[in-house]
Chain A
C-alpha cells in the first residue's frame, strides 16, 4: 500500500472512531475552546485529543488502550484511602489547546503567589509565564542558541508532541517501555491523555555539558497537567536534565499526573533534577522510572515542595552489570500537606549498586512519608544498596514515617537502611542564638544545613532560589 493510501486509510479510520461529534469541532478554534470547558473523560475525548494533535494511529490506539486500563485499575491501595478521595476524575479538564491555556487572568493569580515571585526575584514576564497567563516566556534567544549548539551534536531536545511528530520511530520504539500503561492507575491516565513534556535523545558518546533547563522555563507545554517525558541517552553519552523551578507553580488544576521515562544505554549517564513547588491545592501523582543498562548510571535529584499531596517514588532498574543509581530527595510538608515520596531500586543484574538519600522536613502538622522498595531479583549477586532517611520535625504536630520494603533472597548482597528522625532542638537553637542570630534565622540555618546534601547538587542559581524559598516557607507561624 502506498504511503498516501495508508495515511488516507488511517485518517478515515480515525474519523470513524472519533465520529461526527468531533469531526467539525476541532478545525475551529472556537469549538476547540468550547471543548476545553468540558470536564470529565471518556473514550471519545481521548480520541479527540489524539486527533487534534494529528497523531499517528498507533498513538491513538495506545491512548485508547490506556484509557480502558485506567478505568479498570483500582486506586492505589497503599495510601490512606481518604487521601485520594478528593481526586474527582469527573471534575477535571483533560485537555486544553495551547490557546486555551492563555485564557487565565493575571489578576486572578493569588496575591500570595505574586509576592513569593517578587521575593524570589523573578521578573514579571516570567512570573506571568509561570502562572500560565502567557504561554511563552520571553527568552527565545537563549533557547535558540542552546538549541543550535545541541543540534550540532545531534542532540534532540524538544517538547514531547514535537518529538512524536519529528522522531516518530524513536518514540514508538521506547514510549511506554519503561513504564507500561498498566503500571498504575495514574500512569494509565497519563498515557491516555498526555500532553507536553520533553523528548530528549542524546546520540552515542555525546556528553551534553550544559544542563537542559532553560528550555523548560520557556516552554509552556511542559507545564501541562499530564506531561510525558522520555529521555534516551545512547551508549556512553551523558546528559543532565532539569525540570521545574523553585517558584510556586500556580495552577487551577487540582491534579497533576506526569510520567517520566529514562533510558540509560550501556555506559550512559542521566541525571534528572526536579524541583517542584505546586500550589497547595494540587494532587501531584507522578510516575518516574529509569532503566540503567550495563555500566550506566542514573541519578534522580528530586525536590518536592508545595502541593496538597505528592506521591512519587523515582525508580531505577539496574538492568546490566556495573549499573549504578542514586536517588537524592528532599520533601517539605507544611500545614495541610502530605509528601509521600520515596525510591524504588530493582536490581536485575549482578554487580550493581545504588544509594538512596531521603531528607524530609515537616512543619505545622505537615506530614512526610518515605516509601521505599529495594528488590533484588533471584540469582542476582553482589548488589549494594544503601538507604538513608532523615526526617526533621519542626514541631510536635508534624509527622514523619518510613515504610521501607526489601525483597532480596540472595546472600551476596548488601542492603542497608538507616533512618533518623530529629526535632529542631532547644540546644541547637540556643547555640545559634547565643551567637547573636535570631531564632527564625537559626531555624532557617538548621533547615538549610539539613538539606545541604541536596542543595549542593543543584546548579548555583537553583540552590540560591531553594534556600530563599525555604526562608519563605519557614517564615511566619512556627508559633
Chain B
C-alpha cells in the first residue's frame, strides 16, 4: 500500500469567474493528520470542494492525485467510492429520507450490499459511540437537526463509510464544548494508520482533541506556511497577521 494518499500540485480553482485557489501544493500521506487553517475567504472550503468535485468549483490548473490517479475530472460519486469523504460545513437536509435508509444507501454504494442485520448492528454501535439517541435513526437526514446533530451525523457517516481520506470542513463550527469532545472522540476512533485526515478549522480548540502532525496556513489561495503542531500555538497567540506579512514579504522579495 502506497503511503502517498493525496497529492495536490499547483492547484488553481475558480468559483464562477473568480479565481480562489492560486497554486496550492499539499500532500497527505496515510496515517497523517493535517490541519488547514487560514483567515476567512482564503480558500479553505474551496479546496475541500475542489477535491470532492463540486460542480460550482472549477479546477483551472494543476492536478489532484488520489492514490496516484488524477481525479480532477472525475464525477463526485466516483471520488467518494474511491474512499474520499467530505464532512460538510453546512450539511444539506434531505426531507423524507430517514437517517437509516440514507446510511444504508451510502454504505451500499461504497461497500456493496451488506446483510440487513449486520448493517443495523454497525449503525447502532456507531451511534452509541457518538452519544446519539436511537430515535435519531428514524428522523429525516439533517431535517430540523441542531448544529451539533448535523455535525455528529457527518461523523456517523464517516465512521460507517471508513474512507481512506477524510476532509473535515469546519466540523467544529457551531458546537458547544461537550459536543465538540464527542465529535472529536468519534474522529479519533475512526482514524487509523491507513487513513489520512485533512481538518479545516479556525480554532485551536479542536486541535487539542485531534492532534495534527502537520499544520498549513492558507492565505489568499496559496499555502503561506506549513509546519508542525507548534504552528497552532503560534497562530493562537499572534493571529494570522505575522504570517500574512511574512508571506507578502516573501512574495515581494
Contact = CB atoms under 8 A, between A and B. Distances in A.
B105 A434 contact: no
Nearest to A445: B97
A436 B56 contact: no
A435 to B, nearest CB: 4
A31 interface: no
Interface in B40-73: 52, 54-56
Interface in B67-109: 75-77, 79-81, 85-86, 88, 91-92, 94-97, 102, 105-106, 109
A427 B55 CA distance: 9
Interface in B106-136: 106, 109-110
Given A445-B97, A446-B97, A449-B97, 20 more contacts: A425-B92, A430-B92, A431-B91, A433-B76, A433-B77, A434-B77, A434-B88, A435-B106, A435-B157, A436-B81, A436-B106, A437-B109, A438-B77, A441-B109, A442-B77, A446-B94, A449-B140, A452-B96, A452-B97, A453-B96
B183 interface: no
A451 interface: yes
Contact of A431 (B85, B94, B96, B161): B94
27 contacts: A426-B56, A427-B92, A430-B52, A431-B91, A432-B94, A433-B75, A434-B77, A434-B85, A435-B106, A436-B77, A436-B81, A436-B106, A436-B109, A436-B161, A437-B80, A437-B106, A438-B109, A439-B75, A439-B77, A441-B109, A445-B97, A448-B97, A449-B94, A449-B95, A449-B96, A450-B95, A452-B96
A439 B81 CA distance: 13
Q: How large is the interface on A (under 10, 10 to 19, 20 to 34, 35 or more residues)?
A: 20 to 34
Given A426-B56, A427-B92, A449-B140, A434 B80 contact: yes
A412 interface: no
A434 B88 CA distance: 10
A37 interface: no
Interface residues of B, number: 27
Going nearest first, the 10 A-B pairs with the smallest beta carbon separation are A449-B96, A452-B96, A436-B109, A436-B80, A449-B97, A435-B106, A431-B92, A433-B76, A433-B77, A436-B81
B163 to A, nearest CB: 10
B227 to A, nearest CB: 30
B96 A450 contact: yes
A428 interface: yes
A341 to B, nearest CB: 19
Contacts of B106: 435-437
Contacts of B95: 449-450, 452
Nearest to B110: A436
B76 A428 contact: no
Contacts, number: 74
Contacts of B91: 431
Nearest to B93: A428
A301 B151 CA distance: 37
Interface in A405-455: 425-428, 430-439, 441-442, 445-446, 448-453
A449 B94 CA distance: 7
Nearest to A450: B96
B113 to A, nearest CB: 13
Contact of B77 (A437, A448, A453): A437
A285 to B, nearest CB: 30
A434 B52 CA distance: 7
Interface string B229-240: 000000000000
Nearest to B109: A436
B151 to A, nearest CB: 14
Interface string A303-333: 0000000000000000000000000000000
Contacts of A435: 80, 105-106, 109-110, 157, 161
A437 B97 CA distance: 14
Contacts of B55: 426, 430
Contact of B54 (A430, A446, A453): A430
Interface in B140-173: 140, 157, 161
A253 to B, nearest CB: 35
Contact of B80 (A425, A433, A446): A433
Nearest to B163: A436
Interface in A451-465: 451-453
